[in-house]
Amino acid sequence: MTLRLLILGTGGMAANHAAAFARIPGVELVAGVDTRAEPLAAFAARHGLGRTFSRLADALDWGRFDAVANVTPDAAHHATTLPLLAAGKHVLCEKPLATSAADAAEMAQAAARAGTVAMVNLTYRNVPALQQAAQLVAEGALGPIRHFEASYLQSWLTQPAWGDWRTEPQWLWRLSTAHGSKGVLGDVGIHILDFATFAAGEAPTEVSARLATFDKAPGGRIGDYPLDANDSATLQLRLEGGALGVVHASRFATGHLNDLRLRLYGTEGGLDIRFENAESALSACLGPARTGARWETIPCPPVPTVYDRFIAAIRGEGPTDPDFARGAQLQRWLDRAEDSAASGSRLLPA
């Protein structure tokens, strides 16, 4: 049976959703919703959407869709996802699920009540090296994990490869807490927190964090946007098994457009997972190779994307993973990191 998909929010990231879903057999992009008429019309023409709506409520009245890709800005996720779940729609929501742990928890509860498929778009689950690493860890290849280093590095505040943040609102909302941004911590810190804890197969038990916001414009604002959201985040974590690790994220990492790296060390081996320049690679130093500190490249088969898995879950052909409960768990850790930073980096239970 054809699965009818609606795209809610037709800005930058929506193009990735449209392209990914258009490639899946049996999925039809039927409609788009955006509060801005012009980008909506251009998006609908480009991706062949038959219907467009300026209000979600009108799309819900129309109702002829089964699933929704929620690609609105972070601050709109909570208010738009709840009525979709109440109407029995499947939802793939962008990250972070919400702007607070309380709102994310409410969304996870609503999803459980609705019984529909509700997933969060943790894009880097699509990285083959991450999935392969998680499998090796789960098989015990590293032994108990003792230490890790994780980073997510971007540089869009220092160069214009993706556009000019000084003039384009799709960048400005990300710099402003008044517009629902949790800064680099919420924007990409959530990805690297998921990356590290998913690979390790362990949740943090303690967190301590520092956040920094740098002067970027006269008076610290551009038009309606006070530029107060954090640009750089450093976290120290302890995992359930006792390992210590650091996670950092920045938009000022000149020389890196969009690079993730995780190094995991256990008593029996180490893993180095890279996603750099859109290429994924995994190397390992395992067992007897530890003595000579010899690292070898591990082949990583392709993996289904979160888009593929969302559709498979709706069809009953795969698990709902990563689900809203995972999104809410990550959101709690983000809030704890903010609490820690606000209290002078106090060590807090995660």
Ligand X SMILES: NC(=O)c1ccc[n+]([C@@H]2O[C@H](COP(=O)([O-])OP(=O)(O)OC[C@H]3O[C@@H](n4cnc5c(N)ncnc54)[C@H](O)[C@@H]3O)[C@@H](O)[C@H]2O)c1
Q: Which residues have a Cβ under 8 Å from the Cβ of 262 and sit 6 or more positions away?
A: 130, 133, 148, 149, 150, 151, 192, 195, 196, 199, 271, 272, 273
The torsion angles phi and psi of 224, rounded to 5 degrees, stand at -80, 5
Which positions ≥6 away from 219 have C-beta within 8 Å? Answer: none
Q: Tell me if 181 contacts ligand X by CB under 6 A.
A: no
**CB nearer ligand X, residue 12 or residue 226:** 12
Residue 189 interacting with ligand X (CB under 6 A): no
- CA dist 137 and 25 (Å) reads 33
> Which position among 3, 6, 7, 14 is part of the footprint of ligand X (CB under 6 A)?
14
Is 46 near ligand X (CB under 6 A)?
Answer: no
Tell me which stretch binds ligand X (CB under 6 A): 27-35, 100-108, 111-119, 273-281.
Answer: 27-35
Q: Assess 99 for contact with ligand X (CB under 6 A).
A: no
Question: Which residue, 9 or 270, is less far from ligand X as judged by CB?
Answer: 9
Residue 192: CB minimum distance to ligand X, A? 12
Position of tokens 């402003």?
176
Query: Helix 190-200 crosses helix 128-138 at what angle (to 10 degrees)?
Result: 40
- By CB under 6 A, name the one of 4, 80, 295, 345 that touches ligand X: 80
Half-sphere exposure of 115 (CA within 13 A, CB side): 0
- Please identify, among the stretches 32-40, 126-134, 248-256, 272-280, the one whose residues bind ligand X according to the rule CB under 6 A: 32-40
Q: Which one, 56 or 243, has the nearer CB to ligand X? A: 56
| Cβ count near 42 (within 10 Å) | 11
Q: Is 36 a binder of ligand X (CB under 6 A)? A: yes
Query: Which two tokens mark 200?
Result: 């390790």
Contact status: 153 vs ligand X (CB under 6 A): no
First to last CA, the chain: 43
- Measured between alpha carbons, how far is 101 from 191 in angstroms, rounded to an integer? 16
Q: Which is nearer to ligand X, 123 or 177 (CB)?
A: 123
Stretch that binds ligand X, among 35-43, 148-156, 202-210, 228-236 (CB under 6 A): 35-43
Is the CB of residue 215 less than 8 Å from the CB of residue 120? no
For ligand X, the binding residues (CB under 6 A) are: 8-14, 33-36, 39, 56, 71-74, 76, 80, 94-95, 121, 123, 170, 187
